[in-house]
């Protein structure tokens, strides 16, 4: 039986909503209307449709410092054409990851929007999230098509296939009995703790559960899936859609981490676009896509901010359980996606691993560089295991993102100090520790490469 007393407590008080609305309902309305009136997604779709890599292959797509391997000995020795190629490969790798994160957004937007739909009184939020979902489909298509065309032209099929394998997601839920048992135990706990809120259970989540027999998985290895155990991924998915208004809003706290990360990566490309436009120079299609995507995502970022900082206050204070779920989610995302940095990829905030080393190793042996296996291993060691300018630029980017996260999280009083201050991420911004970790990984990788 539904606890009607507790469920009525979930309903936003009309007077409270009216008062709160003076602060955030107007922002939501303006954001939705502005997003509807914009044509940024349409511009991306047009650029995607007409893109041919050869027509844009002779131009930098961003400032040179936003290039794969920038600041490494290999970059310093590279020819002008190789440097342009590394600039394009940075765009590919960056947006390949962005596409994974936005694929997650497509699912979670629909799960949480249907919670707000069940609560009632949040029609504009639901409309905006539906519009965002449609836009994300166009974004993902453009990133995939343009990126894959670029990578195939520059490095061929083998490095690309191995990169895609390392990023592909195949859940063990429903396949591995122990992992599946963990998920069912976590789901049982969540269902019990949220039983008073089942009146607002997400219809979309209900559809997913019916199709997958209650075993819910995130669809990619984006910011909410990378490095997080399958059972916990399913647990968070369930909690965000199980009827708690607070947790439906809290998902956007996690999404905001992706928004802030993307803003930091894209803004230099926006400046580059504007510089080219001001000078009347040719603007490569990928540069223009980055520019329009940045403008599209500004609406998404505004929604993440309002939902995560303001809308949840329309409802009762979160329970101890809800605070726990919110904190463990941010903690795991912080640990999985932001606990390191890379000296060869300036906007990577997790530890370098053997998959990245394999990708770079195969780039060195591709037609772009034409190295032998021995030469490729030598330069791999120089890039990953020796201090160079790339590490220092990565540290600057790491510190800038860390400061942005801390500024956003600082006054979210339900977060643990380790999350508000991003302490796990802070530990990852150490060059000596990064190189020490890379040396260990390289030794393992080099033995496998030789074998």
pLDDT in tens, 303-321: 999 999 999 999 989 999 9
> CA 166, CA 10: separation in Å to the nearest integer?
43
Question: Is pLDDT above 90 for 17?
Answer: no
pLDDT digits (tens, 9 = 90+) for 72-128: 999 999 999 999 999 999 999 999 999 999 999 999 999 999 999 999 999 999 999
Q: Considering only 144-158, 162-176, 293-307, which range has the smallest mean pLDDT?
A: 162-176
Q: Residue-wise over 51-64: b if at least 16 C-beta within 10 A, else e?
A: bebeebbebbbbee
The domains of the chain, with CATH numbers, are 4-336 (1.10.620)
Question: How many degrees, rounded to 5, is the angle at CA 245 between CA 244 and CA 247?
Answer: 65
For the full predicted model, state whether its pTM sits above 0.85: yes
What is the pLDDT at residue 346?
Answer: 85
What is the pLDDT at residue 3?
Answer: 36
Cα 121 to Cα 49, 116, 243: the distances in Å are: 39, 8, 15
> φ and ψ at 224, to 5 degrees?
-100, -5
> CA 242, CA 192: separation in Å to the nearest integer?
11
What is the pLDDT at residue 148?
Answer: 94
Question: Is pLDDT above 90 for 323?
Answer: yes
Question: Is pLDDT above 50 for 14?
Answer: no
pLDDT digits (tens, 9 = 90+) for 183-242: 889 888 998 999 888 889 999 998 888 877 666 666 577 888 788 888 888 899 999 999
Determine contact, residues 382/75, Cβ cutoff 8 Å. Answer: no
Question: Is pLDDT above 50 for 16?
Answer: no
> CA 305, CA 407: separation in Å to the nearest integer?
12
Question: Is pLDDT above 70 for 165?
Answer: no
| Residue 438 backbone class (left: φ over 0; alpha: ψ -120 to 50; beta: rest) | alpha
C-alpha of 390 from chain center: 23
Average pLDDT of the chain? 89
What does the block give as tokens for 431? 């060059």
Q: What's the average model confidence in pLDDT over 351-366? A: 93
What does the block give as tokens for 247? 């947790």
Question: How many degrees, rounded to 5, is the angle at CA 352 between CA 442 and CA 143?
Answer: 130
Residue of 288 and 187 predicted with greater confidence: 288
Name residues whose C-beta falls within 8 Å of residue 279's C-beta, 6 or more positions apart in sequence. Answer: none
What is the pLDDT at residue 208?
Answer: 84
Q: Which of 314, 316, 318, 317 is nearest to 16 (CA)?
A: 314
H/E stretch holding 310 = none
> CA 318, CA 311: separation in Å to the nearest integer?
13
What is the pLDDT at residue 179?
Answer: 78
- Name the band, by pLDDT with cuts 50, 70 and 90, for residue 2: very low
Question: Is pLDDT above 90 for 167?
Answer: no
Residue of 64 and 160 predicted with greater confidence: 64
Q: Considering only 1-15, 334-348, 380-394, which range has the smallest mean pLDDT?
A: 1-15
What is the pLDDT at residue 231?
Answer: 86
What is the pLDDT at residue 161?
Answer: 72
Q: Considering only 164-173, 212-221, 368-377, which range has the smallest mean pLDDT?
A: 164-173
């Amino acid at each position: 039986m539904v606890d009607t007393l507790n469920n009525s407590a979930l309903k936003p008080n009309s007077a409270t909503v009216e008062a709160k609305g003076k602060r955030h309902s107007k922002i939501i309305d303006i954001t939705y209307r502005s997003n509807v009136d914009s044509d940024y997604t349409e511009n991306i779709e047009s650029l995607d449709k007409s893109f041919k890599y050869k027509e844009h292959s002779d131009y930098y797509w961003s400032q040179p410092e936003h290039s794969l391997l920038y600041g490494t000995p290999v970059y310093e020795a590279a020819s002008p054409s190789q440097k342009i190629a590394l600039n394009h490969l940075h765009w590919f790798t960056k947006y390949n990851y962005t596409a994974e994160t936005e694929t997650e957004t497509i699912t979670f937007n629909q799960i949480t929007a249907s919670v707000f739909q069940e609560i009632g009184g949040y029609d504009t939020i639901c409309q905006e999230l539906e519009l965002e979902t449609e836009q994300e489909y166009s974004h993902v298509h453009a990133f995939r098509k343009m990126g894959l065309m670029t990578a195939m032209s520059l490095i061929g099929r083998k490095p690309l296939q191995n990169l895609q394998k390392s990023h592909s997601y195949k859940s063990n839920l429903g396949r591995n009995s122990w992992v599946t048992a963990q998920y069912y135990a976590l789901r049982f706990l969540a269902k019990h703790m949220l039983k008073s809120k089942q009146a607002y259970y997400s219809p979309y989540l209900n559809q997913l559960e019916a199709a997958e027999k209650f075993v819910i998985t995130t669809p990619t290895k984006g910011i909410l899936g990378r490095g997080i155990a399958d059972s916990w991924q399913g647990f968070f998915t369930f909690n965000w859609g199980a009827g708690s208004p607070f947790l439906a809003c809290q998902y956007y706290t996690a999404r905001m981490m992706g928004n802030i990360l993307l803003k930091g990566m894209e803004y230099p490309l926006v400046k580059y676009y504007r510089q080219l436009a001001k000078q009347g120079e040719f603007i490569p299609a990928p540069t223009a896509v980055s520019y329009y995507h940045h403008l599209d995502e500004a609406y998404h970022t505004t929604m993440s901010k309002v939902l995560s900082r303001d809308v949840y206050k329309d409802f009762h204070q979160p329970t101890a359980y809800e605070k726990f779920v919110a904190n463990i989610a941010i903690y795991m995302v912080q640990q999985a996606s932001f606990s390191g940095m890379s000296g060869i990829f300036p906007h990577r905030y997790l530890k370098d691993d053997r998959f990245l080393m394999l990708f770079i190793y195969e780039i060195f042996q591709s037609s772009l560089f034409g190295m032998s296996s021995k030469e490729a291993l030598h330069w791999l060691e120089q890039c990953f295991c020796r201090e160079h300018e790339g590490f220092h630029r990565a540290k600057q980017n790491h510190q800038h993102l860390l400061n942005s996260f801390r500024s956003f999280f600082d006054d979210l009083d339900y977060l643990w100090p380790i999350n508000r201050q991003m302490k796990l991420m802070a530990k990852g911004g150490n060059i000596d520790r990064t190189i020490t970790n890379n040396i260990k990984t390289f030794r393992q990788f080099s033995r496998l490469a030789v074998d």
